[in-house]
Every structure is written in structure tokens, then in C-alpha cells.
Structure 1
Amino acid sequence: MLRFTANLSLLFTEVPLQQRFQAAKDQGFEAVEIQFPYELSADVIRQELDKQQLKLVLFNVDADDLLQGGEGLAAAPEKKQRFEQAVTETVAYAKILKPDVINILPGRCFDTSLLGDYQQTFKENLHFALEAFSPLGIKTVFEAVNTVDMPGFIISSSEKMLALMAEINHPDLLMQYDIYHMLMMQEDPANFIQQYADKIGHIQFADCPGRHQPGTGNMDYMQIFSIIKASAYQGWTGAEYNPLDSTKASLDWLKKEY
């Protein structure tokens, strides 16, 4: 199945977040995702979604300082209480916005001697999130991020995602598979999606290198989109890239037939 969402944290940034819903609808999107929606109230987002007849597919639990170079929230042992508070905030948003999936960014560990503690904390936090989101009918996903852009990220490969899923073994835990990050780690997304589509709760993409729109790097996006379409994957595919120019000018890939 191939259905596209616009990631409103990276696309349509020419206008404030509240105006991006209409901008996405005007370009033909039927669904959107937001990395961190918390600058707007859930009620305001709900109003925009209803006004534009859009579905919000995904958003993330707060990740603290991760995008500013820090370790994030979900694996740091000393931040466990703060993570649980963030999940509580996410639940309040989820009850109003009703996403399909909620993503948890594992985060970084800068002291390798503490990696085991960070990995254990992340597992415990995943269990806490699953107990919070599953009763709402929402899948929990987590994401591997490349260690070129984010050194120290505790989950950086498909293999590590599969291993963690097998260890936790919960029906509502799936992978968020980011094609850009896995290409940066020299993996083969096409082959992985064919093999493990049933374990993926959400897919995101950007071309590689550069993290711009399809056609600006080495990603064979027409092949990958065709494979997603033909696979057993049932979720949405999120455009999560930094447009080289305006967002509208970056959408040639969307006009093609797959």
C-alpha cells in the first residue's frame, strides 16, 4: 500500500505550523504527520484537521534536547520520570487527535560505559508507553537514526530494531522505518521492506545524502515506492525531508504515478 503523508515539521515551513495543514491539503495530501505538535493545543490541531479534512497519522513523544545535540529523553536513566510525564502529555493529545501510531525516539548515549543502562531504560520506557497507548488503539513505534547525523544514537540499524522487537514481543510495538537514516547506514531499504513489511508501523523517506526531496540524491525512489506499494505494508509513507527550495517546488515526485 502506498499512501503519502506530509511531515509538517519539515514541509511547508514557509508558513507557521497552523497554516501548514491547508498548504498540505492544497498540494493534494490527505494525511499529515508532525514531529512534535506541542506548540499548538490539541484542540487547535483538531480544528485544522477537520477544516481541511485531513488525517493526522503520527507524532512523537517529546524528545527533550535531542534535536539540539543532547541525549534526548527516552533512554536517559535520570530522565525516567520526565519521560513518563511526556507520555502523559502525549496521551492527552492522542485522545483528541487519534493518530495511528506514536513514535518514540530512543536518543543518545555519549558515555559508552553506560550504554547498557541506557538500553535497559529505553526498554522499560517502551513498556510504559505501550501500556499508555495500546488502550487507545494506537500502535507504538520507535526509530533507528544514523550515527553520522546523530553520533551516539543507541539504535542505529534495522538489525537492532528487529532484536529489540523480538525481545519485547508486544503486538502493538512496531518499527518506524526511516529510509534516509538506513541509507546513511549503508543498508538496503528495498530488501528490508520486502522482508519485514509486517513489522513496520510507519515509513518515512528523504533522499540521501542531503535529506532533501526525491531526485536530489542516490535513492532510487521509484523502485522503493513500487516495492512499498507491492508489499504487505499497511501504513502510511511520510515525506520527511528538507526541501532544497520551496516545498511546492519539491513535490515533483508526488505528481508521478506509482
Structure 2
Amino acid sequence: MLKLAVNLSMIFTEVPLLQRFALAKAQGFNTVEIQFPYVHSIDEIATALSQHQLQLCLINVPAGDLMQGGCGLAGVPGCEAEFAAAIEQAIAYASQLQVPTVNILVGKQPEGIAYADCLDTLTQNLRLACDRLAAHNIQPVIEMINGINMPGFLIQRMAQAQDLLTRVQRPNLKLQYDCYHMAMMGEDVIQCFQNNRQHIAHIQFADCPGRHEPDTAELNFTGFFQAIAQSGYTGFVAAEYVPSQISLQSLQWKQRYFPSETM
């Protein structure tokens, strides 16, 4: 049985973040993920989780200016100290909130800096991150993000992610697999998952194109969820999409694909 989660940064956004926990619980979710929880204190997030008996399964490491159109931290030469501080902030949140996995956004290639130099910086930063997170028993993951929505992202395709895992040489580094980003880059979503299952520690889903809820576009979610269930994967499978309508009305897929899921 798949372990389902819902992303509170993209779904239930009709209300402020701290009010989204109640909506998730009311819709039958027991597990949530948050991209960047840092706008609230650890105590505020902990209170919301406890009040609604929810588990937080994933957060992102702070990514500098990435979400505002900048290049982020992880692959930018000269930002190593900021990246190291971001890792420590993520560790503080993940440790106290009992978050098992953190996602390290590798960021974009700055103008005027060679890709090879960015990759060297990224490699060293990821080694540091993996070592620090291992000391706290927290799983690090990196994510492939398509270059159409985020031009210049350093790791867009599975082949690039495989090469990066080889470069970093830290066995605890795994992948976050988002079927939307893979589909946008022309990957065979199911085959790519099956071929790389051993490297994947977290899964997210949205339909493609559009990045809306399942069954609004072209992806085969019956086949995708079956492939995950049959693979022996034991991590979380998280809904991370932009609702095409009011969030509560976008959840028809839940009954369709997870009818007996108690979550």
C-alpha cells in the first residue's frame, strides 16, 4: 500500500499555511510535506502537526533566492557559507519536527559561470550536506526540475542525476522523483522510475502538461501508481500540483486511485 502525502505549499493555498493542516486532515491525509516551512517557527509548525495528528515527511533546504528567480545556493561558487548555514537550518527543523527527508534544490547556473564550475561547487556542497545530514539520521535527496519551467536548472534529466550521484560518492544521497518534471523533459515516467528505483527515496506527482491534479492532462497514473506499488518502494508518494480549481474540488483522484488508503 502506497504511503500518501499532500504538499501544503501548493495545495489548500486558499488559506494561510497554518490553517492548511486542518484541511489536509479533514480530507483524510495523515502525512504532509512543506517546501519551505521557515516563515514559521519550529514551535508553530510542531503545534499544527500535533493538533491535527499529522506527520511532516519532507521539507526543502533553504534555497536562497531560487524561488524569486535567482540561482539559489547549492551550485553557485562563492555561496558555500550560505549553503552550509542553510543545511544547519534545515537540520534544526527536521530534527525537532521529526522530518525523515530533506530535499536539496541544486539551483541554476549563474550567467557567466561555467557549468563545470557550478557542478564542482555543487558536488562539494552535497558532500558536506550528506555528511551533516547522516549525522542526524536525515535522508538527503536531490530533485530533477525541468528546464522549461526553470531554465538553467543544473540537474534536469535522470542521466544528469545519475552522473551527479556518481560524482558525489555519498551512498546516503538519493533522488526525489517528480513525474511532472520527468514528463516535461520527455522521460518515460514509468520506465524511468523502474530503471532507477534503487536511487529514489521520495516521489511527487502532478499531471503533465499543466502541473495540475491527476487526470487533467496526459499522464497514465493508473500505470504509474501500479509500478510504484509493485516495485517494493516504501517511501512517501506526495501530491504536489497546482489545483486546476478550488483545492478541495481537485481531490477526485484520491478516491479513484487510493480508495482503500487510510493514510
CA contact (8 A) 1:4 1:236 kept: yes
Matched letter for residue 26 of structure 2: D
How far does residue 201 in structure 1 lie from its aligned partner after superposition? 0.9
Partner of 1:3: 3
Matched letter for residue 76 of structure 1: V
Partner of 2:261: none
Indicate yes or no: 2:109 matched with 1:109: yes
RMSD: 1.2
Instruction: Render the CA deviation track for 1:175-225: whole Å, top value 9, x for unaligned.
Output: 011110010000011012222222101011111111110011111111101
Instruction: Render the CA deviation track for 1:145-186: whole Å, top value 9, x for unaligned.
Output: 101111111100011111111222322110011110010000
Aligned pairs for 1:55-94 within 5 A: 55-94=55-94
Indicate yes or no: 2:129 matched with 1:152: no
**2: CA distance, partners of 1:30 / 1:70:** 34
Cα pair distance change 1:177/1:257, threshold 3 Å: closer
Partner of 1:162: 162
Larger deviation, residues 192-201 vs 14-23: 192-201
Indicate yes or no: 2:208 matched with 1:211: no
Q: TM-score, normalised by structure 1?
A: 0.96
CA contact (8 A) 1:193 1:231 kept: no
Partner of 2:19: 19
SS in 2 for 1:256: helix
**1: CA distance, partners of 2:252 / 2:41:** 32
Matched letter for residue 84 of structure 1: A
Instruction: Render the CA deviation track for 1:15-72: whole Å, top value 9, x for unaligned.
Output: 1100111110110111000000001111111111111111100000111111221111
Partner of 2:193: 193
How far does residue 257 in structure 1 lie from its aligned partner after superposition? 4.1
**Percent identity (aligned):** 43
Partner of 2:226: 226
**2: CA distance, partners of 1:16 / 1:118:** 36
Pairs aligned (count):
258
Unpaired segments of 5 or more residues in structure 1? none
Q: TM-score, normalised by structure 2?
A: 0.95
CA contact (8 A) 1:178 1:203 kept: yes
Partner of 1:250: 250
**2: CA distance, partners of 1:249 / 1:147:** 30
CA contact (8 A) 1:177 1:204 kept: yes
**1: CA distance, partners of 2:170 / 2:127:** 9
Indicate yes or no: 2:174 matched with 1:174: yes
Indicate yes or no: 2:53 matched with 1:53: yes
CA contact (8 A) 2:63 2:72 kept: yes
**2: CA distance, partners of 1:110 / 1:76:** 7
Moved over 6 A (4+): none
How far does residue 127 in structure 1 lie from its aligned partner after superposition? 0.9
**2: CA distance, partners of 1:151 / 1:35:** 20
CA contact (8 A) 1:106 1:154 kept: yes
CA contact (8 A) 1:108 1:153 kept: yes
**2: CA distance, partners of 1:160 / 1:197:** 16
